[in-house]
Amino acid sequence: MVCIILPFLLVAYVDRLSGTIINSPKQEYIWKSLHDADPERIRHTFMPSYIEFESNLRHLTIECKTSIRRTIVALEHQQNWAVSLFNSWGKFPPSGLTQGTLADFGDYDQCLSVDDVQYCLVEMLPPLPPMPSVHNYHHKTKNLIDTNTILPQLNQSSFIRLMANESAIFYWATIQLGICLPNTCTTNDVHFMSERISERLALQVKSFMCESKRDTFSWNKTQLFAMIFMATILGLTLMALIYDQSTKDYHHQTTTTTTSSSPLSFLLWFSPGRNIRKVLDPNSNEVDLSCVHGLRVFSIVWVVVGHTLEWNQLNAFRETFSLKHMLASLPLQLLFKAPLAVETFFYLSGLLTSYITLNFANRTYHKFSCISFLTLRYARLTPQLAVFMLLTALLPTMYDGPIWNSYMDKIVNNCAANWWVNLAYMQNFIDFEHICSIHTWFLANDMQLHWLSLIPMLVLFRNRFRGLLLTVMMIVVTIALCSAKIYIENFPPETVVTTKTDFRDGNENPSLFYYFYFKPWIHIVPFFGGFIFGEYLYQKNRNQCKEFILNRVRMQKYISWLTVLCLYLFEIYCTVPYLHGRPYDPLVSSIIFPLSRVIWSSMLSMIVWLCLTGNGGIVGRFLSWSALKPLSRLTYAVYLTHAWTLWITLGARRDLIEPSGKSIITLFGGVLLSSYTIAFIFTVLIESPLLNAMNAAKMAIQNKHEIQCKEKDDNTIVADCNVGMSERFSISSQIPLQERAMHACMFMIKKIAELYSVNFLAITFYFPFA
């Protein structure tokens, strides 16, 4: 019975439920009003209001006009691609204009997510009179407003008065707007629409740059070669890791044991484990000059921080009108005086050049090789520089952004044209306007000064007094010539952070001071100041024989450190009177510019001397801290590769930087951490294998020399036949100089060819065909 009645009950229930659904009122959807929105309202909501498309379409090409009309129709029908196109436009004028926010990039990624579109960054400027030869952010711009009739009518809160007071910044910053247009719009179309936008605020279009989505990327020859080179290095590193581990397991020995008899022993040069341990080793061969490590680390951090501020475009910041006050802030001058860190590197280079060379040769002329002195430094620095330039060619393919192309196009093009100038270390003389990576100017100056130091070095070996006298004369003559040049040309007393015209004019053309500052004779004072002090340290070390630490002058300790502090503060604040636009005085500038370098060199000498004599206190312990030695070994790699970090951090940005302390500190911290991370990888993969090859070459030359010494008659063997490894290429004078030099060069070429499997040497010959 139940089985018969149950089906009828189910049918009755379903019929009742169906009737309920059918008879219920129609369900209302929450977003129905959005779906039924008036097309006119949709168009006014998403389309930029600062340009009238309908009235301007007739001035565009047919293709561009058709594409824009099709996009507007699609927008009215709420098509996602059309909404994305118009919604990615930036706001004009930018939000925060009265505070100095001059850029609105729009949404770069949203624009290029649409097919067949182009993202354009338009730069606009208000009309300005020609820029003065010396222009400071705090200067007032003349002839903008009629001061007799119009200006008195404007109250202090007037927008026109505000912009006129802040107009000096427009010589260096532009109003930037990101727009998104169909690909069919030509350059003339973009220019026409940019003019229609700019004329709303009586602006002028300075330039614009457009780019489309890259579905596929075509690699050029340089980039292909860079990829092959990196693949080779990574392959050798992987093989070295396997080989190193297998030899350790086979011989049951420590990782310091080498297997030079094996034909694959050169792979150990690439062993990442060995190279990492060498980099992180807290011990140093320069125990008596351990404070130098701290000075290196402090200086390279200062340089990176300075470049982070200097390489930024003003448009990258919000509220740029407040930047001139930040740049003139007295406490922040500690950050803005980064050029002094560069002078520190020149000083340390001169100090170590004389101190190490005199120690290795033991002030014996016959143990000194001029060719080795000139070529070893070139061989030590050049391969890393070449690899840096080669890998720079890969950056355009790895990143993008609204201002990425403006950052990278010039750099990559300059490197493609002038890579050979960098390898010759003549970039500060040859086509300096198009230098491959601006920060490499230091390498050219340092190499040139090192080569120049050969002259006083040779005289020092012959006669100490004459060598020092010649060095002092070089410094005095340089000071006199530089002072005369500064007085005649009315150059600044030092780099003034608020006066951009010291280096470039409003058209980004180099100034006379630009060419003057980057020449080697400007930096002779710190370099040879360190050179003289290095000779002094060697002489004291030689006289003490066993113990370098001299008598501790406790009574003068605090006076000495107080003097150091006063000299440091003078260097930091000597340009404060000029921060607000005070005109330069030729006489004062001609005195302060060379004097500051003498003072800085003297201050560094006092710091090193106080640390070495045990009077360094907290500062000395910090500078000699063993934890800084691994960071010190990364200094050269950080100096080279921090440019990559800055280009990526600043050039690939989608948003603006807040000019607040928190944002700036975060930016500094990120750049420093990234720079040291990249430098560590660069050192392990590139620099350490090269140094291992150079050490292998020196060992081979030493072993061959010892064999030659043993084969000679005892009467003909010189007293210094058994040369220590610390004397490097100090081969006995019994072997002719030409033979020594030729043997060293040929062996070095052979080892480097093995090191990079011929690919590395091909860099020099490959660039012309890229």
3-state secondary structure 383-444: HHHHHHHHHHCCHHHHCCCCCHHHHHHHHHHHHHHHHHHHHCCCCCCCCHHHCCCHHHHHHH
pLDDT value at position 534? 93
pLDDT value at position 714? 47
pLDDT value at position 734? 41
205 and 247 share one domain: no
253 and 135 share one domain: no
198 and 250 share one domain: no
320 and 198 share one domain: no
689 and 574 share one domain: yes
pLDDT value at position 156? 63
Query: Does 532 reside within a domain?
Result: yes
| pLDDT at position 72 over 50 | yes
Query: Does 203 reside within a domain?
Result: yes
Average pLDDT of the segment spanning 720-725: 36
pLDDT value at position 250? 54
640 falls in which pLDDT band (50, 70, 90)? Answer: very high
174 and 257 share one domain: no
Tell which wins on pLDDT, 315 or 422: 422
| pLDDT at position 82 over 80 | yes
Query: Does 86 reside within a domain?
Result: yes
pTM for the structure as a whole: 0.84
Query: Does 135 reside within a domain?
Result: yes
**Of the candidates 149, 177, 212, which is a domain's last residue?**
212
196 and 273 share one domain: no
Average pLDDT of the segment spanning 239-250: 79
140-144, 186-190, 540-544, 684-688: least confident range: 540-544
242 and 144 share one domain: no
Average pLDDT of the segment spanning 655-678: 91
Average pLDDT of the segment spanning 604-612: 92
Query: Does 25 reside within a domain?
Result: no
For the segment 701-715, what is each residue's pLDDT rounded down to a tens digit?
666 655 555 555 444
149 falls in which pLDDT band (50, 70, 90)? Answer: low
261 and 202 share one domain: no
Average pLDDT of the segment spanning 83-94: 93
* Mean model confidence pLDDT for the chain: 82
337 and 195 share one domain: no
Q: Which residues, at least 6 apart from 593, have a Cβ–Cβ distance to it below 8 Å?
A: 482, 483, 486, 491, 492, 493, 494
Query: Could you list the residue range(s) of the whole structural domain that residue 87 is in?
Result: 36-212
449 is written with which tokens? Answer: 């000064």
Decide: 770 and 222 in contact? Cβ < 8 Å: yes
Percent of the chain with pLDDT over 90: 48
Of the spans 250-264, 284-298, 328-342, which averages the highest pLDDT?
328-342
Q: Smallest Cα–Cα separation from 508: which of 175, 172, 206, 137? A: 172
- Cα separation, 337 vs 573, in Å, equals 9
207 and 256 share one domain: no
- Tally of structural domains, the chain: 2
Q: Smallest Cα–Cα separation from 182: which of 149, 139, 212, 227? A: 212
For the segment 493-536, what is each residue's pLDDT rounded down to a tens digit?
988 988 888 887 766 778 888 889 999 999 999 999 999 999 99
| pLDDT at position 480 over 80 | yes
Q: Is the dihedral of CA 281, 287, 290, 296 positive or negative?
A: negative
Query: Does 502 reside within a domain?
Result: yes
- Cα separation, 425 vs 764, in Å, equals 14
Percent of the chain with pLDDT over 70: 81
3-state secondary structure of 182: strand
Q: Smallest Cα–Cα separation from 166: which of 103, 99, 104? A: 99
Strands lying side by side in the sheet with 117-125: 103-104, 175-182, 117-125, 204-212
56 is written with which tokens? Answer: 């301007």
For the segment 391-446, what is each residue's pLDDT rounded down to a tens digit?
999 999 889 999 998 888 889 999 999 999 999 999 999 988 899 999 999 999 99
318 and 169 share one domain: no
